[in-house]
Amino acid sequence: MSITKPSLATLAGLAVLLAGVSVVMIFFVAPEDADQGLSQKIFYVHVPIALTAYAAFGLGAWKALRLLLTRGERYDLESYTGIHQGTIFGALTLITGSIWAKASWGVWWTWSSNQLVLFLVLFLFYCAYFMLRFSIEPGPRRERISAVYALFGVALIPVSFLAIRLASDFIHPTVFTREGPQMTGEMFAAFCCSWAAITLLAYVMYRTELAGKRTDLNLRALREALAR
Amino acid sequence: MTDYLADVAALARKDLRLELRARDTLPAMVLFVVATLVVFHFALPGGAGDDAAYGLLWVALVFTSLLGLGRAWAPETEAGALDGLVLAVSDRSTIWLGKTLAALAFLGAAELVALPAFALFFAPLDGPALAGVALASIGLCAVGSLVSAMAAAARGREVLLPLLFLPLAIPLVVGGVGSSISPDPGTYLAFLGLYDAVFAILSWAAFEYVVTE
Amino acid sequence: MAEVVVRARGLEKRYGSHPVLRDVAFELAPGGTLVVTGPNGAGKTTLLRLLAGLAAPTRGSLEVAVERARIGLVGHEPLLYRELTALENLDLYGRLYRIDERRERIGMLLERFGLWDARHQRVSSYSRGMTQRLALCRALLHQPSLLILDEPHSALDAEGASLLDEELAALAGGHTVVVSTHDPERLAPFASARLELERA
């Protein structure tokens, strides 16, 4: 029996379906948090988005490593798209985190959320990735330098996190604390559903963007060939 | 192994010799760091404690190293010497290591002026603080040499270098400030050591890919 | 002895979507001199960089039966440090290439190319012709078995050009040479093979 790979459209449809189910679960199934009330619901979106961003950066770095080790042509675009998706989801992490902070503590930003600060540093780092990439002429040099930078990124993630922890330990004593959610069964179910939906959505976006970029590249190559 | 070190030594010596001839980078770095410290005096409000001053020391050090790193690869890009080195050496990482050691020498020389000036203007520096400066300087130069080589391959490299460098320098600032003001500097020094180990190895291994096609 | 020193098949080089070399093929026997010609933008410099190992082909195959340490390159740029003296430049390369009797070899080359008297001057004070001559010294320092020259005559003065011609004559047969030029007639006496590049 053969297993057919689901088409992109199917996956997109599935993602929308899962998103719908998640919304239902978040608002109607998971109990409301005693302390934070309705604003706590943002957690179901914020954390999966953050996790997805990490995964995307990891994917970008993995493809970058493959590029450096094998010189395969496809890896550059895949690495770039991964980093791009990671940056988008990173920006969303910052936005949802900011909204959550406003809803919880009344401020749009706080330095006491380690994850938020980490994403700020990473966001800066990966924005510089694009500046670097588009300052170099297309070609193997650009591919390799982008790949090395992507690898530095994943090394930076744990090191930065440690640094921020150390900084908050002493330099910036925490003002706001938030109890990690002790999740009940329903909360966990809602979380997992949401996580699955967002991951699937990210994957669909990744594949779509990659296909678009590949088409662009082929079109340009075709034009060059015709112009001769 | 000795061949490797001999190559590194020859390359680092070359950079030191070039700087001794041109004498443009090192004086600029020294002047810059002292001027920055003076600016900080005016920037700090009256009641600011020593802790704030230590923080600013690290800002000064990071930007001073940026100044030096911006010019680090200029001799190689001028007349294509980088291609010459890439062809000549057995192991391309020697180019990175030689450059890092030279950058460290320049930064160290600037610090020899900056640290006493800081102690004079603001607050004393104890053993752990100095150890922090030493460890962080290694990290700054190791990562900085690599990132500067990346920027050298790009347009608008003067503007690009700070953008690439600063996010990577943030952990070093945390480690440095922590070792200056924390009652438990050991943790921060250990962290700096970790950063140095991770990023020096990464830079050492990745350099080959940055300078070749 | 190897049958061929260089073999290229279906060689292609692209930067992004912009092709520079397309479907280049040739073979070069040991001791031969390949003269590469073509209009500007035909990819001569790119081909020479590929041969030197400074770039890798996008497609096709390029086999160079010479290890990197035995390749010498005179490129479009002199590959020198302007603020070092001629002696210091050659000494650095001499160390990196691990040349035996470095001093003697450097002295001999500087003498041969008429730069001995200027050996303690910085390269920044050199004329274009002198710089190119020094670049030749640098390329010949480690006695390469494959010498790659990118339009070497264009930056040379008359004296330097005749010195180069002497050198090419001396190298022919014993060493393999690839040289690109706008003036193929000048190199006709040395050429054992020719390659004409077209715009890709």
Q: Is B190 on the interface with A (CB under 8 A)?
A: no
Q: What is the DSSP string of C35-56?
A: EEE--TTSSHHHHHHHHHTSS-
Under an 8 A CB cutoff, do A166 and B166 touch? Answer: no
Which residues sit opposite C19 in a β-bridge? C14
Average pLDDT, chain B: 94
ipTM associated with this complex = 0.93
Taking only residues 148 to 187 of chain C, the set having a beta carbon closer than 8 angstroms to any beta carbon of chain B reads none
Tokens of C17: 């979507």
Residue B75 near residue B81, CB atoms below 8 Å:
yes
Q: Is residue C90 part of a domain?
A: yes
Residue C42: per-residue pLDDT: 85
Q: A224 and C55: CB-CB below 8 Å? A: no
Same domain, yes or no, for C137 and C153?
no
Provide the mean pLDDT of chain A: 87
CB contact under 8 A, A171 and B175: no
Summarize pLDDT for A149-179 with one digit per residue, the tens: 999 999 999 999 999 989 887 655 555 555 5
B151 touching A (Cβ < 8 Å): yes
Taking only the tens place, the pLDDT of each residue in C78-129 is 999 999 999 999 999 999 999 999 999 999 999 999 999 999 999 999 999 9
Q: Do A159 and B155 lie within an 8 Å CB cutoff?
A: no
Do C146 and C70 contact (CB within 8 A), yes or no? yes
Joined together, the tokens standing for residue B205 give 């291994």
How far apart (Å, rounded) are the C-alpha atoms in residues A221 and A227?
10
B88 touches C97 (CB < 8 A):
yes
| Same domain (yes/no): C61, C150 | yes
Rounded to an integer, the average pLDDT of A200-212 is 93
Q: Are residues C62 and C3 in the same domain?
A: yes
Mean pLDDT for A44-67 is 95
For residue C71, being part of any structural domain is answered with no
Which residues on chain B are in Cβ contact (under 8 Å) with C138?
A: 84
Counting residues of chain B whose pLDDT is more than 70, the rounded percentage is 100
Residue B153 is classified by DSSP as: T
Does C31 share its domain with C13? Answer: yes
A132, B154 Cβ separation under 8 angstroms? yes
Cα(A171)–Cα(B181) distance, integer angstroms: 9
Q: Is residue C72 part of a domain?
A: no
List the CATH number of the domain containing C19: 3.40.50.300
Burial B181-190 (b: 16+ CB within 10 A, else e): bbeebeebbe
Name residues whose C-beta falls within 8 Å of residue C71's C-beta, 6 or more positions apart in sequence. B87, C51, C52, C53, C64, C144, C145, C146, C147, C148
Residue type, A222: L
- Asked if residue C94 belongs to a domain, the reply is yes
State residue C178 phi and psi, 5-degree precision.
Answer: -125, 125
Q: Answer yes or no: do C140 and C179 share one domain.
A: no
Q: With bands split at pLDDT 50, 70 and 90, how would you rate the model's confidence at A35?
A: low
Same domain, C122 and C178: no
Q: Given this model, what pLDDT does residue A228 score?
A: 66
Q: DSSP E strands: which ranges in C55-167?
A: 59-64, 71-74, 146-150
What per-residue confidence (pLDDT) applies to A181? 56
Q: Read off the pLDDT band of A1 (50, 70, 90).
A: very low
Q: Give the pLDDT of residue A178.
A: 57
Among candidates B202, B169, B211, B174, which has minimal Cα distance to A154?
A: B202
> Residue A27 gets which letter from DSSP?
I
The residues spanned by each domain of chain B are 2-211
Last residue of a domain, one of C99, C127, C144: C144
Look at residues C144, C164, C185 and tell me which one is the last residue of a structural domain: C144
CA angle C131, C136, C138 (to 5 degrees): 95
Based on the fold, state whether residues C62 and C159 are members of the same structural domain.
Answer: yes
Q: What is the pTM of this model?
A: 0.92
Residues of the domain holding C100: 80-144
Cα B81 from chain centre: 22
Cβ of A14: how many Cβ atoms within 10 Å?
16
Sheet holding C59-64, edge to edge: C18-28, C6-15, C59-64
- Calculate mean pLDDT across residues B183-209: 95
> Of the candidates B167, B188, B206, which has its C-beta nearest A148's C-beta?
B206
Confidence of residue B202 (pLDDT cuts 50, 70, 90): very high
* Cross-strand pairs, C13: C21
The SS3 assignment for C144 reads: coil
Which of A131, A152, A163 is opposite residue B175, by nearest beta carbon? A163
- Contacts of residue B201, Cβ cutoff 8 Å, sequence gap at least 6: none
Determine the angle formed by the axes of helices B93-121 and B81-88, rounding to 10 degrees: 120
In a domain, C73, yes or no: no
| Interface probe, candidates C17, C18, C22, chain A, greatest A C-beta count within 10 A | C17
Structure tokens at A225: 């060939």
Interchain CB distance below 8 Å, A224 and C16: no
Query: How far apart are alpha carbons A146 and A142 in whole angstroms?
Result: 6
List C37's β-bridge partners, or say none: C196
Residue with tokens 């390329």, as numbered in its chain? C139
Residues B87-103: tens digit of each pLDDT: 999 999 999 999 999 99
Last residue in a domain, options C144, C173, C191 = C144
| CA separation for the pair C23, A225 (Å, rounded) | 13
Averaged pLDDT, B179-194: 93
Say whether A151 and B206 touch across the interface (CB within 8 A): yes
Residue C170 falls within a domain, yes or no? yes
Chain A residues bordering chain C (beta-carbon distance below 8 Å): 71, 137-140, 217, 220-221, 224, 228
Is C21 within the bounds of a domain?
yes
Residues of chain C falling short of pLDDT 50: none
Q: State the total domains in chain C.
A: 2
Tell me which chain A residues have a C-beta less than 8 angstroms from the C-beta of C15.
Answer: 137-140
> Among B146, B130, B128, B132, which Cα is nearest to B199's?
B146
C181 and C126 inside one domain = no
